[in-house]
Amino acid sequence: MKIAFYSTKPYDRIWFEPLGKEYGFDIQFIEYPFNKETVYLSRGSDAVCIFVNDYVDRELMDMLYEMKIQALLLRSAGFNHVDISAAKDKLHVLRVPSYSPEAVAEFAAALLLTVNRHTHKAYTRTRDFNMSIHGLMGRDLYGKVAGVVGTGKIGQAMVHILKGFGMRVLAYDPYTSDGVDAEYVALEELLERSNIISLHCPLTKETKHMINKKTIAKMQDSVYIINTSRGALIQTEDLIEGLVSKKIGGVGLDVYEEEEGIFYEDCSDEIMKDTVLARLTTFPNVVITSHMGFFTREAMQAIAIETLENAYAVENKLPLVNEVLP
């Protein structure tokens, strides 16, 4: 099988290159993102492998079908960047549903601790030998109420971590899971009672902009909001309004709704054209990272193995257990 591997970074090769040889695959590593200008680089391939900021609409899906591409391999659990309905009866779309839920949950907790205890500011100060702690006061997490939105594997791992902090944990998910050590409540109740809200749900039509002006108004004053899932779960302009009014006490974002073309790239020598993102970075109580919650050695290895297992299943006509269907 020949695989066109888009949005390649040096860290992708560490696992995919040797594993690809073990599976007998011919992997063509392409540094460019997958789009209308680069789709033709996959001509002659059997499968195309993309990452979270490679968007595949109906037109691109038709182009892949015309080039006789058999499968679209996603190096992610989420699939909101792919028009799944357009793939029906044309090619298989396979994802990596679980690689390391603990990695993402641990990173969400790291964002929470950073926002709360200002460790990023303290680090910068002490490097300049400024040992003042004025302005760095946080809050005890112990005894506070945390709301976890989405109790899939990542959400469950986050519940476990928050319980370890001695927090009371509320949970919301339209599909409840057994064995979750949290109190399931309606979303509105979770918003009203939680001191900290952490988002761990997929991006769908129902969840897009679930954090908006109306839902923020229902939250506790000085609430912390953490998002390591998908940027468009939050209406960013409304988030900024909540920060300006001090309704929101702090925000930790590993994702951003307009991150395509920015996250995973070095834009340090460029003028930031996204004025919304530029403004977000000016708030002292906002911590933004570049969609790296998954980025551990264990998770990257698991993503590589599962992605190539998906390709192996397609090539050998085995059951496609990770196929995404309309």
Sorted by where each starts, the structural domains of the chain and their CATH numbers stand as 2-99+296-315 (3.40.50.720), 101-288 (3.40.50.720)
Residue whose C-alpha is closest to residue 191's, from 166, 213, 176 = 213
Average pLDDT, integer, range 82-109: 95
pLDDT at 16: 97
Average pLDDT, integer, range 38-63: 97
Longest Cα–Cα distance in the chain: 64
d(CA 250, CA 238) in angstroms, rounded, equals: 14
Whether residue 318 is predicted with pLDDT greater than 90 in this model: the reply is yes
Q: For 89, list phi and psi in degrees, rounded to 5.
A: 65, 15
Whether residue 215 is predicted with pLDDT greater than 90 in this model: the reply is yes
Query: Are 45 and 2 spatial neighbours (Cβ–Cβ below 8 Å)?
Result: yes
pLDDT at 260: 87
Average pLDDT, integer, range 277-299: 96
Going by pLDDT thresholds of 50, 70 and 90, the confidence category of residue 99 is confident
Average pLDDT, integer, range 220-237: 97
Average pLDDT, integer, range 77-105: 94
Whether residue 232 is predicted with pLDDT greater than 90 in this model: the reply is yes
Question: Is 291 known to be catalytic?
Answer: yes
The whole-chain average pLDDT of the chain stands at 96
pLDDT at 326: 87
Catalytic residue among 291, 306, 309, 315: 291
Question: Which pTM value belongs to this model?
Answer: 0.92
pLDDT at 151: 97
d(CA 168, CA 10) in angstroms, rounded, equals: 41
Catalytic residue among 118, 230, 257, 306: 230
Ranges of beta strands (E only) in the chain are: 2-5, 26-29, 47-50, 71-74, 92-94, 145-149, 168-172, 183-184, 196-199, 223-227, 248-253, 286-288
Locus of tokens 């099988």: 1
Distance linking the first and last C-alpha atoms of the chain: 25
Whether residue 323 is predicted with pLDDT greater than 90 in this model: the reply is yes
Catalytic residue among 81, 92, 257, 259: 259
Average pLDDT, integer, range 83-89: 96
pLDDT at 42: 97
pLDDT at 182: 98
pLDDT at 158: 98
d(CA 224, CA 283) in angstroms, rounded, equals: 14
